[in-house]
Amino acid sequence: PKKIRILDSTLREGEQHPGVSFTNKQRIQIAWMLDYFGVDQIEISPVVSNDHKEATKTIIKQGLKADIVSHGRALKSDIDISLDCDAKWCAAYLGISDIHLKDKLRITREEALERAVETVEYAKSHGLKIRFTVEDGSRAEPEFLLKVCKAIEEAGVDRISLPDTVGILRPIGMYNFVKKVREVVDVPLDAHVHNDIGFAVANAFSACDAGVDQIHTTIDGIGERTGIPPLAEVAVALTYLYKSPNDFRLDMLLDLSRLIEEYTSIKPYDSKPIVGSSAYKHKAGTHLAAILRNPAAYEPIPPRAVGNRRRIVFGELAGKTGAAYLMSLLGLEKDDEGAKAVAAGLKGLRMGDLIEIPLEDRIEKKIINDK
Ligand code: HCA
Ligand code: CU
């Protein structure tokens, strides 16, 4: 299978999430952790404040394995800031849909095309690698989108980011968006997709099917409005479903999520895939019975592999299997009568009173061996 790379934008898109604003010390730590995790590129924007500029400079100096991508507008003055930071990679974005051209930038298509080409030429002539983002490309007039992509390819652009800036594409729409561009240019492509209707992860993978080789993520999916695809879902899907040959340390995923929680007070919702507190909880007695023989019965990805852990919830659905198991955990003699009585007792428990026990490896092994 083909390798799909990850660009993590926690430090750029992530900081656009309401309530997120890191200190420079935190930015540097996040960059180190993302690099150790194994992402290919880390994006940060030095143009938003002096503080960000300092962080960008410092992170570039760390000599991390990942490329540090310095993000800004398609303006020479923003490219100059990337140069000041000693960046090797920069990214420039420019809205190219009519709504962005008319109501945000107040420029014509011709002016936008010219600005895109000039920006790429300027970066290249200063020795920078440049990714160009055709912002709101998913709503741009298709002929104009292709025209811009061809022109910046000719100007020497190194990558093109195809964004669904407002998250309105269906997976098939994202596929077609990428495919159209893929057919006219040879430049490596990025997918940057927003989650306004909940399709971000699905759309990112549609984009892969159509030919992008890099997905943008943030830790826990934080970003403008409803954010972009979370690093955890993307890295796990790449590894387990797409068999992409990356060297991710997936067992850091829970720690990465906790780090963001600590620095932002944004807690991932319980049922959030991979890192949510319920992602590996089992409640129904029939599920427990199966889990005790073979956890794969109800766990597509082993919890330890992603730094999470399995928990059993003993409550009204535990049944006799659950009751007997709870008794064995507590070291109680378990006869049939006793188990029935405990099961009846558990039936009286309601939300909030449920007993939750992490399954220790030791006990799990013993039970699995005893079967
Ligand atoms: C923005 C827009 C952007 C850019 C994406 C990219 C988008 O700057 O807020 O550079 O790949 O969603 O279009 O995040
Ligand atoms: Cu975005």
Give Cβ neighbours of residue 154 (< 8 Å, ≥ 6 apart).
Answer: 117
- State residue 352's pLDDT score: 60
- The backbone torsions φ and ψ at residue 286, rounded to the nearest 5 degrees and listed phi first, read -65, -35
User: In angstroms, rounded to a whole number, what is the distance separating the alpha carbons of residues 193 and 208?
Assistant: 12
What global pTM score does this model have? Answer: 0.94
- State residue 371's pLDDT score: 44
Among residues 257, 208, 199, the alpha carbon closest in space to that of 231 is found at 257
From ligand 1's centre to the CA of 97, what distance in Å? 13
The Cα angle at residue 279 between residues 367 and 238, in degrees rounded to 5:
105
Among the atoms of ligand 1, which is closest to the Cα of residue 163?
Answer: 13
Considering only CA atoms, which residue is closest to atom 6 of ligand 1? 133
List the structure tokens of 306: 């992603």
Give, as one character, the DSSP assignment of residue 230: B
Our answer on whether the CB atom of 193 is closer than 6 Å to any ligand 1 atom is no
Contact between 326 and 355 (Cβ < 8 Å)? yes
pLDDT less than 50: residues of the chain: 367-371
Name the percent of the chain lying above pLDDT 90. 82
- State residue 360's pLDDT score: 58
Our answer on whether the CB atom of 218 is closer than 6 Å to any ligand 1 atom is no
From ligand 2's centre to the CA of 163, what distance in Å? 7
Give, as one character, the DSSP assignment of residue 241: I
User: In angstroms, rounded to a whole number, what is the distance separating the alpha carbons of residues 71 and 90?
Assistant: 6
From ligand 2's centre to the CA of 15, what distance in Å? 11
DSSP 99-112: HHIIIII---HHHH
User: In angstroms, rounded to a whole number, what is the distance separating the alpha carbons of residues 208 and 174?
Assistant: 10
Give ipTM to 2 decimals: 0.98
List the structure tokens of 274: 């991979």
Please return the burial class of 125, using the count of CB atoms within 10 Å of its CB with bins 0-12, 13-18 and 19+: exposed
The 10s digit of each residue's pLDDT in 162-184 is 999 999 999 999 999 999 999 99
- State residue 370's pLDDT score: 47
Our answer on whether the CB atom of 195 is closer than 6 Å to any ligand 1 atom is no
User: In angstroms, rounded to a whole number, what is the distance separating the alpha carbons of residues 146 and 154?
Assistant: 12
